Amino acid sequence: MKALIFDVSGTIAETADVKRAAFNQTFAELGLDWVWGRAAFAQVLANALPGAEVEFFALLREPKMFNKLENTGLLDQITKRQQRIYFNLLEAGAASLRPGVARLMAEVAVSDTKLAMCSTGPRQEYETLLFNRFGLEMVDGLSVSVAGEDLQGASPVQAYRTCIERLKLHPGEIMVIEDSAQGTAAAASLGMCVVATPSQYTLNDKFPGAQLVVSDLGHPAAPYALLAGQAENSGYISLETLKTLHNRPKIIAATAA
């Protein structure tokens, strides 16, 4: 194991409800009577590409409204306004890092293991999250980063392939931390070892490509819950834990219940 890649949204921080709040604020500002609850937003997240959430929702629920939004330019206005509100909320600290993420990142940063970020979303997202917790040192200290600006489309496979190329490593030398079934499958399909930490909106996902599925990365005083696979009894994921896991035969973890 020579590198650790973190997915961003949902993996390093629970960002989904912050995005949902930004959408709802945007709808209210623009005079739309939409209010996305968690059930509706879960459906949107499961089916829409990043940046096409409103388009998907309108086509599914109110196709006549979609035509109006598109013809008046409101569709693009909603997307841009939502992103501004979302990043303002992130900068204000609305999404803290998930349990164990800061601890593991700090451990990797002072080791000889490369640390990378890989996302299909905007670069500003992970830069803000890391800056809020660590300052510029961690942002500047990343060995490699891939964001939506580097990609054509929003394919996790393309994002991870680009990250591998920039790391200049064999996929078998890389470990990935993911929160979604789609991202896990993408990383595993390229030959990387994956630890899955389901987030609020991916709790019901299945992770057949993961070597291990845990509730979070854990802490000595707040152990993770083991959801699938075999892990040491430390209760938290350390760099040494990842190296040990990486050296095991690649046994696909059972799916989480």
Mean pLDDT for 51-79 is 85
Among 73-77, 93-97, 249-253, the minimum mean pLDDT is found in 249-253
The sheet that has 226-228: what strands, in order across it?
144-146, 114-118, 3-7, 174-178, 193-196, 212-214, 226-228
CA atoms within 13 A on the CB side of 189: 13
Round to whole Å and give the CA distance between 140 and 15. Answer: 22
In the numeric block, the tokens 């569709």 are attached to 75
**pLDDT tens-digit map of 10-48:** 999 999 999 999 999 999 999 998 999 999 999 999 888
What is this structure's pTM? 0.91
Mean pLDDT for 59-74 is 82
Which SS3 state, helix, strand or coil, does residue 170 take? coil
In the DSSP assignment, the letter for residue 97 is: B
In the numeric block, the tokens 């299909």 are attached to 120
More confident call, 59 vs 70 = 59
Cβ-based neighbours of 18, under 8 Å, separated by 6 or more = 86, 89, 90, 94, 95
- Report yes or no: 182 and 209 within 8 Å, Cβ to Cβ: no
**pLDDT tens-digit map of 169-187:** 999 999 999 999 999 999 9
* pLDDT tops 70 at residue 255: no
pLDDT at 29: 95
Copy the structure tokens of residue 195: 């630890």
In the numeric block, the tokens 């994921």 are attached to 237
**pLDDT tens-digit map of 135-160:** 999 999 999 999 999 998 778 999 99
- Report yes or no: 256 and 212 within 8 Å, Cβ to Cβ: no
Please report, rounded to a whole number, the percentage of residues in the chain having pLDDT higher than 70: 96
- Taken in order of first residue, the domains within the chain and their CATH numbers are 3-14+96-247 (3.40.50.1000), 16-91 (1.10.150.240)
pLDDT at 256: 39
